[in-house]
Amino acid sequence: MFKPLYTAPALTLGSLGLFFWGSGSSAPAPAPAPPASGPPAPVGGGFPPSKPPTRNNGVTDPRTSAIVNPSDFFKYGFPGPIHDLQKRSEFVSVYDRQTRNPYYVVEHITPESLKKDPEGGDRKNSIFKEDEAIPERFRAHLKDYFRSGYDRGHQAPAADAKFSQDAMNETFYLTNMSPQVGAGFNRDYWAHFEDFTRRLTQQYASVRIVTGPLYLPKKDPVDGKFKVTYEVIGNPPNIAVPTHFFKLVVAEKSFKKSSGNDELAVAAFVMPNDIIPNEVPLTSFEVPVEALERSSGLEFLKLVPETKKKSLCGEFKCSIIVREFNNNVKALPAPKK
Ligand SMILES: *[C@@H]1O[C@H](CO)[C@@H](O)[C@H](O)[C@H]1NC(C)=O
């Protein structure tokens, strides 16, 4: 039977479970469905207001509108948030200017797309690039990562874009990167996890993967309060180091552009940004989609009826296969700045 090989608080599923399921227990791997009333979703977003401020069930109070007009502030310029959506060949990225990480990237892979272009599609021909579409003061910089101790971790992996050198090059924009623990995570367990998503194309004609960072609260052992703590790399500090990463995987048997009748095989995973021994089963990182929604603030597949969704791990073995070559490929030294 599997026994946890690590005990660091950030790694135990107990603390993850505490957040996702609101359980006070630190017992390993609680897996029940989340309770109807979980921790409240973080407050935020909602701008710009789609309507002027109203009271009394939507009727603008004439006395109020005569004396204040909060929305009028926007005539001086809309502060944001701006999400810097970038459409690349293999993925779409949505960037968070505050953390200098993606919010998420959405990929599409197929059995055909994973074939390597004989003329290119090699990561040796790509270099990491700052994304000049992002205003300078919100941009992630190469120098922020330099000597940070973290890998520039692809969210849409380079190996998912071997079908063309151009597509692979696009995965090297820093808007597709988050700081990831290198040895033991990005170059190991996470790489095997990415390989798992590619293996899904053996059974599914279309695989869509949403990947992104999370900043999850953890119980402070001193005062018992939940707190979000993360490092910020760069000098001056610029790029947040996520505490966790997620993937939502959506697999379909056929890839017909307009069919829309396919059932979706769905699974969501959350992993700590930390060393994970290869012995830890992949299924121990599976979480309910609703739990991922609550922790990310994102809504997934809300237009798909529940009857069309089924459990991916119920029909495909959710496990990693350790291939040591991943290690060598990802460990290519960073170019010296
Ligand atoms: C990929 O990036 C490399 C390094 O910047 C560049 O030399 C090469 O021309 C790019 N290839 C394509 C097809 O964009």
Q: Tell me the domains of the chain and their CATH numbers.
A: 86-330 (3.40.570.10)
Residue 103, helix vs strand vs coil: strand
Give the contacts of 29 (CB within 8 A, at least 6 positions apart).
Answer: 13, 17, 284
Whether residue 28 contacts residue 4, with contact meaning beta carbons closer than 8 Å, is answered with yes
The answer on whether 186 is annotated among ligand-binding residues is yes
DSSP label of 288 = -
Q: Which of 108, 154, 192, 244 is catalytic?
A: 154
Tell me the average pLDDT across 287-314.
97
- State the pLDDT at residue 328: 55
Establish whether 154 is a catalytic residue.
yes
Residue corresponding to tokens 């990561």: 123
**How many angstroms separate the alpha carbon of residue 93 from the centre of ligand 1?**
20
Query: Element (H or E) spanning 309, and its range?
Result: strand 309-311
- Rg, Å, the chain Cα set: 21
What is the pTM assigned to this prediction? 0.81
pLDDT given at position 260 = 59
Q: Say how far residue 188 (Cα) sits from the centre of its chain.
A: 18
Q: Is the pLDDT reported for residue 20 higher than 70?
A: no
Our answer on whether the CB atom of 125 is closer than 6 Å to any ligand 1 atom is yes
Q: How far is the CA of 176 from the centre of ligand 1 (A)?
A: 17
Interatomic CA distance for residues 87 and 321, integer angstroms: 31
Residue 248 Cα to ligand 1 midpoint, Å, equals 30
Reply yes or no on whether the pLDDT at 327 is more than 80.
no
C-beta atoms surrounding 58 within 10 Å: 7
At 24-47, the pLDDT tens digits run 333 333 333 443 443 443 333 344
Is the predicted pLDDT of residue 202 greater than 50, yes or no?
yes
CB of residue 126 inside a 6 A radius of ligand 1: yes
For 219-255, give one letter per residue: b (16+ CB within 10 A) or e. beeeeeeeeeebeebbeeebbbbbbbbbbbbbbbeeb
Residues 134-159 have pLDDT tens digits of 999 999 999 999 999 999 999 999 99
Q: Is 166 in the pocket of ligand 1 (CB under 6 A)?
A: yes
* CA 188-191-196 angle, 5° bins: 125
Average pLDDT of the residues in 258-286: 91
What is d(CA 205, CA 189) in angstroms, rounded to the nearest whole number? 25
Would the pLDDT of 66 be above 50?
yes
Q: What's the one-letter identity of residue 308?
A: K
Model confidence over 77-112: pLDDT tens digits? 999 999 999 999 999 999 999 999 999 999 999 999
**Of the segments 18-27, 41-50, 66-75, 222-231, which one has the largest average pLDDT value?**
222-231
